Structure 1
Amino acid sequence: MFTAPTFLLLAVALILGRGLVWIVNLLVIAPLFDPLRKLPGPKGRFFSSHIKYVIDPDFSATQHEVWKGKYGKTFRYHGSGKFDYRLMTFDLRAVSHILVSPIYEKPRITRTFLSTMIGTGIFTTEGTEHAFQKKIIGPAFTLQSIKALAPVFLRVAEELRDKWDESMPNGQDTLDVYHWISRATFDAFGLACLTYNFRAIHGETEELYLAFRRMFDLADKKGILRILLPVLDKFWPDEIARSVLASRQVIFDTGRRLISDKKELLRAEKESPSTSGEKDLLTLLMKSNLGNDSAKRLSDSDLLDQISSFFFAGSDSTALALSWSLCFLALHPDIQTRLRTELTHPITLDSSSTTSFHFEDRAYDVLESFTLLDAVVRETLRLVPPVHGTLRVATQNDLIPVSEPVVLSDGTVVSPGEHIQIRKGSIIHIPFEGLNFAKDIWSEDPLEFRPDRWRSLPSSAQPPNFPGLANVMTFSFGPSSCPGYRFTITEMKAFLSILLPHFAFAIPEGQTIGKRNGLFTRPIVKGKSSMGVQLPLIVKRLDECDPL
């Protein structure tokens, strides 16, 4: 008869035995039968990893082209080690299949990690739930909705311009442009999403702003162990987990009040149709939600998760894209001067009307009429996509079609129109940055900031040859593409149209701006990375401006 200690020893032995079997299968047996093993790709020792060549911007910008030259457009690399085969493809036929097919989902670890920060919104769901949520949020991002928000972006940009004016009594200063732009885009998002003014431009004291800011700043600081085992945050929360939880509570409490207030406004609008309805994203979401079957409506908590998702994916990424655009213009003063000339020149919208971007009722149309502005924005988004790539996991075995030949390790050639095999659980890396830098798509100078390329794009960078939204892979493609791409582009144009005619931007002497990839691609000063994310630029009032 077994005693209690014996049972305990047997249980421990069973757990250790099953763990050993799992490890042996993961490291030795499963890789032997992985179809990706047959694909060409860089080699390495057992625990060698190629991840730094994939995510470190000091390597990735050129490494992708090196690998394509050696192995073709579809190959495998080692993730955590030689046993971890991951697929990378620049074959647009394969990319389209992966991003459109429901078989491929964002890794559960990624979704779980993000959901601890922003809840179960559009960026953390998959399948039918994701499709349902996208249907609900669709009306908030129509062209008509974005047109209505253009004046909001312009007003916030004017606030930032005036604040910079106040802070520069001598007409010039070196400012951390990213920090300032981040504050301004929070204000713009608050007004556009919630009709809520954070007033972050004037001071970083508002409680809801600080809650969002803390949570997003902490996202890049979570240790790998807590990303892999998010349950630790629940049972043994560290300081970061406690801070995230406290921030989410502030967001939830404030959001609940905002939703309650908007319900009252919607009731008033229903009772009095002449009442002018608000056009912020939360109101549009709530209207779209009410128009749905009552059994399929999003709860108030779900609506708030959508707004948190917009702030997380939109405000921070737009601030980064806008900051990078100012950085590129500082590096290319000739393009900066040309753009300033365009923005200060009267724009003729039709044969009978001449106006400027200050007329709010036509703000969007005027912004769209600036051709160089459009090119600068798109070239920035091409060169520095806020998210440098995305991972997908195969939820079942599949055959991925290719349009370019793939030579397997045994010499077999997978010809165009044929398929490569992938098994359930395999990880696929879609390199947004790499596709935006591909020489066969963008010609021989893809790493150069050259907005004039947008005047006459090669056919390889246009639909249907190139599937990316706005002719870049920055916003992805297919069901998981970014619904707010027009929002981002319009906000960037609005800010540049206000700031460029009033200020000149230059790089401080001896300073080199680099990139740091985390959840987003952020600017750092090379040699001063320990000082964290920053983008110091010389900002000089134009009316006192000497050539920089």
Structure 2
Amino acid sequence: MSAVALLVPAILLVIAVWLLLKDRVLRSPIDQVPGPSSPSLLSGHLGRLFHRHEGWKLHDELATQYAAVSRIRGVLGERILYVFDPTALHSIIIKDQQYYEEASFSISMLDLIFGPGLLATLHDQHRKQRKMLNPVFSIAHMRHMTPIFYRVAHKLGDGIAKQVHSLPGEVDVLNWMGRTALELIGQAGLGYSFDPLIEDTKNKYGDAIKAISPALFSLGGLQFLAPFLVKIGSPAFRRWVVDNLLPYPKIQHLKNLVDLMYNNAKDLLSKKRLALKEGDEVVMQQIGEGKDVMSILLRANTVASESERMSEEELVAQMATLIAAATDTTSGALSQILDILAKHPDAQERLREEILQASNGEDISYDQLIELPYMDAVCRETLRLYPPVTEVHRDCKKDMVLPLANPIRGLNGKWMSEIFVPKNTRIIVAIRACNRNKEIWGEDALEWKPERWLSPLPGSLTDARVPGVYSNMMTFLGGGRSCIGFKFSQLEMKVVLSVLLSSFKFSLSDQDIVWNLAPAKYPTVGRISIKPSMPMKVELLKNASF
């Protein structure tokens, strides 16, 4: 082989490596932003960031030992900004959101798992989907959903009561909350019942939903390869590669979960479309009586113009996305609230008294339920201190200047009131860190204090103008990619709590419960187990109706 023939591929290899590394090797204004030293040249801080236990330590270190904007390292030294400064977040989430897109690895991975649904689309396609879904998450529609929520919550109470009677001892609360959240989105979202909430019933779909977050997080830094992998060949070719050339258990487990969710969503969509085709009488006989999210979406899609209409692929993806997004986060949040109330029995008793006084033996109406002051305070404070999602990632799509609420001192000793952010910079929107920021929440920011919501909030918080869609928090994000179902989630939590706390007392388990970092955090028994679980002592009260 001639020297020229050998030289050409060598030159191409050098060019490829340079294109990959140039933004990491050349000097950048971000280099002056303080941050922890990188523990690995290959993976930077990602090994810690995606570790289900060590990740918490890194988040706390960045939130307490550095300014509200700091720098960490990614693959091969990639610069990543960790941001919880409220002014900077306003620029990223609202003012300049078109230039700070959902991270490419996140979009690609969510597309591979759920398809082109609301979480996996950008620009006009995302806006089109959101516009069509907005009406079914309105307050007016939530009022229609309330009776459905109560029916499911009472079934949950029956199931737990039977378990407490037949097997006195500890109850896996997370399992019940996961099944309940799935049934709630099933009935109110799809007009379909997944689970009768009988004690010994198993549900493969529910198990898959609970497993998807830990399975995805277990891939660690491999998630960052998703944008490149989706460009290799056709979907059929990529599937062949996964089936035949990637025998790794973690990848095969995730593939099986994706297959199960996709097949169920496709089957449910087919049944829903058939019912709508057969007419209103058949639709009214369904569980959601035609008022569920997908029935309304399908009707709207039928009469929409061709440019606004969702494709079959988008509709299937929407179902899988709604189920997964509404199940994992809500079940985790409910479990967290019950865990906190068990640690604060006085707060649990105070909330129970408020519920019993408001209910008078009946279901509390929507308008009264959402206004219960201590119920609202407990939910807000738990969602503030323990958000189900710890952070989200954004990619800067053009050179930008990021304004800061408070200047930070650079490594060169100079103060910076703004940061130049080069194109393609990865940004972590630090939800949990912003919610716990002492500069805006006060010195007691790390304490669980529902009472903070029963008096005027500190001026430092209102002045900060945190760009979240919910209660000066980033828990449900803000802007064009805020959580579309946050009112749905709040109503679910309050209905379930009102039913359970009326009849049950919750106490801590004798077992060690550990919360694991993941796309949606989850508890396990001990640090070794990877099975989501949260046993609690549950006692049926004397005045219980079950």
Matches within 5 A, 1:246-285: 246-264=259-277, 278-285=290-297
Q: Distance in 2 between matches of 1:155 and 1:430?
A: 37
Distance 1:240 1:215, change over 3 A: same
8 Å CA contact 1:381–1:474 kept in 2: the answer is yes
Which position in structure 2 is the counterpart of 1:330? 342
**TM-score (normalised: structure 2):** 0.86
SS at match of 1:533: coil
8 Å CA contact 2:262–2:316 kept in 1: the answer is no
8 Å CA contact 1:432–1:473 kept in 2: the answer is yes
Q: Deviations over 1:21-58 (max 9, x none)?
A: 43355446643232211222223466273346656676
Q: CA deviation at 1:77?
A: 1.8
Which position in structure 2 is the counterpart of 1:422? 421
SS at match of 1:327: helix
| Counterpart residue identity of residue 368, structure 1 | I
8 Å CA contact 2:276–2:282 kept in 1: the answer is no
Distance 1:411 1:213, change over 3 A: closer
Which position in structure 1 is the counterpart of 2:411? 409
Q: CA deviation at 1:459?
A: 3.0
Distance 1:19 1:544, change over 3 A: farther
| Counterpart residue identity of residue 513, structure 1 | I
Distance 1:440 1:56, change over 3 A: farther
SS at match of 1:505: strand
Q: Distance in 1 between matches of 2:7 and 2:261?
A: 41
User: What is the aligned counterpart of 1:87 among 81, 84, 98?
Assistant: 81
SS at match of 1:406: strand
| Counterpart residue identity of residue 492, structure 1 | M
Q: CA deviation at 1:170?
A: 6.1
Q: CA deviation at 1:257?
A: 1.8
Distance 1:241 1:50, change over 3 A: closer
8 Å CA contact 1:259–1:300 kept in 2: the answer is no
Matches within 5 A, 1:85-124: 85-100=79-94, 101-124=97-120
Q: Percent identity?
A: 27
Q: Distance in 1 between matches of 2:543 and 2:369?
A: 26
The question of 1:235 aligning with 2:241 is answered: yes
Q: Deviations over 1:127-148 (max 9, x none)?
A: 1211111111111111111121
Q: Distance in 1 between matches of 2:54 and 2:208?
A: 35
Which position in structure 2 is the counterpart of 1:320? 332
Q: Distance in 2 between matches of 1:460 and 1:309?
A: 37
Q: Deviations over 1:52-78 (max 9, x none)?
A: 665667666676565466543222122
Between 1:319-328 and 1:57-66, the stretch displaced more is 57-66
Q: Distance in 1 between matches of 2:8 and 2:146?
A: 63
Which position in structure 2 is the counterpart of 1:380? 382
8 Å CA contact 2:275–2:282 kept in 1: the answer is no
Q: Distance in 2 between matches of 1:514 and 1:414?
A: 39
Q: Distance in 2 between matches of 1:108 and 1:125?
A: 10
SS at match of 1:123: helix
SS at match of 1:537: strand
| Counterpart residue identity of residue 197, structure 2 | I
Q: Distance in 1 between matches of 2:23 and 2:400?
A: 20
| Counterpart residue identity of residue 466, structure 2 | F
Distance 1:381 1:56, change over 3 A: farther
The question of 1:184 aligning with 2:180 is answered: yes
| Counterpart residue identity of residue 413, structure 1 | W
Q: CA deviation at 1:208?
A: 5.3
SS at match of 1:429: strand
Q: Deviations over 1:379-427 (max 9, x none)?
A: 1111221110011011111111222113333333333xxx321111110
SS at match of 2:388: coil
| Counterpart residue identity of residue 358, structure 1 | D
Aligned residues: 519
8 Å CA contact 1:324–1:380 kept in 2: the answer is yes
Which position in structure 1 is the counterpart of 2:235? none
Q: Distance in 1 between matches of 2:196 and 2:348?
A: 27
Which position in structure 2 is the counterpart of 1:537? 536
Which position in structure 1 is the counterpart of 2:68? 73
Q: Deviations over 1:355-382 (max 9, x none)?
A: 66526xxx21121132111111111111
Q: Distance in 1 between matches of 2:367 and 2:477?
A: 25
Matches within 5 A, 1:353-372: 357-358=362-363, 363-372=365-374
SS at match of 1:199: coil
Distance 1:496 1:38, change over 3 A: same
Q: Distance in 2 between matches of 1:531 and 1:245?
A: 19
Between 1:142-151 and 1:15-24, the stretch displaced more is 15-24
8 Å CA contact 1:391–1:427 kept in 2: the answer is yes
Between 1:167-176 and 1:300-309, the stretch displaced more is 167-176
8 Å CA contact 1:523–1:534 kept in 2: the answer is yes
8 Å CA contact 1:61–1:437 kept in 2: the answer is no
SS at match of 2:406: coil
Distance 1:264 1:467, change over 3 A: same
Q: CA deviation at 1:17?
A: 4.2
Distance 1:210 1:386, change over 3 A: closer
Which position in structure 2 is the counterpart of 1:497? 498
Q: CA deviation at 1:213?
A: 5.6
Distance 1:165 1:489, change over 3 A: same
Q: Distance in 2 between matches of 1:413 and 1:36?
A: 13
Q: CA deviation at 1:301?
A: 2.9
Q: Distance in 1 between matches of 2:190 and 2:275?
A: 9
Distance 1:13 1:309, change over 3 A: farther
Which position in structure 2 is the counterpart of 1:350? none
**TM-score (normalised: structure 1):** 0.85
Between 1:489-498 and 1:279-288, the stretch displaced more is 279-288
Between 1:23-32 and 1:377-386, the stretch displaced more is 23-32
Q: Distance in 1 between matches of 2:146 and 2:386?
A: 23
Which position in structure 2 is the counterpart of 1:515? 515
SS at match of 1:543: coil
SS at match of 1:189: helix
Q: CA deviation at 1:182?
A: 0.4
SS at match of 1:293: coil
8 Å CA contact 2:156–2:180 kept in 1: the answer is yes
Distance 1:503 1:37, change over 3 A: same
Between 1:147-156 and 1:490-499, the stretch displaced more is 147-156
Distance 1:265 1:212, change over 3 A: farther
Q: Distance in 1 between matches of 2:242 and 2:400?
A: 39
Q: Distance in 2 between matches of 1:69 and 1:108?
A: 29
Which position in structure 2 is the counterpart of 1:34? 28
Q: Distance in 2 between matches of 1:35 and 1:529?
A: 41
Which position in structure 1 is the counterpart of 2:443? 444
Q: Distance in 1 between matches of 2:361 and 2:367?
A: 10
8 Å CA contact 2:33–2:410 kept in 1: the answer is yes
Q: Distance in 2 between matches of 1:190 and 1:25?
A: 47
SS at match of 1:475: coil
The question of 1:136 aligning with 2:136 is answered: no
